[in-house]
Amino acid sequence: MCSYQYRQCEGEKMTEQRLISTADAAKEIGCTSGYLRVIIARHPQLQPKQRFADAWLWTPEEVEAVNNRNKKPGKPAKKSD
């Protein structure tokens, strides 16, 4: 697992946050990175806020938001008579 430490200065306070790559975020959610991109395309509000070069970096809160999204069930199975 590849994680990064992100430090941000807010006034006199220094905050530190753990950031992970899209592949690692997908592993935590239990899907592939390709399907995670599909989820982001369907729900743009869940897109991560941090980007480094061409990679998106996810906070634990963003991963949790994707994992807790409204998962609608698919088409119900046909009932055999």
Task: Examine the pLDDT at 6 and tell me if it is beyond 70.
Answer: no
- How confident is the model over 10-61, as pLDDT tens digits? 556 656 678 899 999 999 999 999 999 998 898 889 888 888 888 888 999 9
Would you say residue 81 lies in a domain? no
Domain total for the chain?
A: 1
Q: pTM of whole model > 0.75?
A: no
64: tokens are 């949790």
Q: What domain range is 62 assigned to?
A: 3-67
**pLDDT: which is higher, 63 or 73:** 63
Residues 46/51/53/55 CA torsion (nearest 10 deg): -40
Which pairs count as long-range contacts for 46-53, CB under 8 Å and 24+ apart, including other chains?
48/22, 50/6, 50/19, 52/4
Flag whether 53 is in a domain.
yes
Q: What is the pLDDT of residue 34?
A: 92
Let me know if residue 59 belongs to a domain.
yes
Residue type, 16: E
Q: For position 35, which CATH number holds?
A: 1.10.1660.10
Q: At what angle do helices 22-29 and 60-67 cross, to 10 degrees?
A: 40
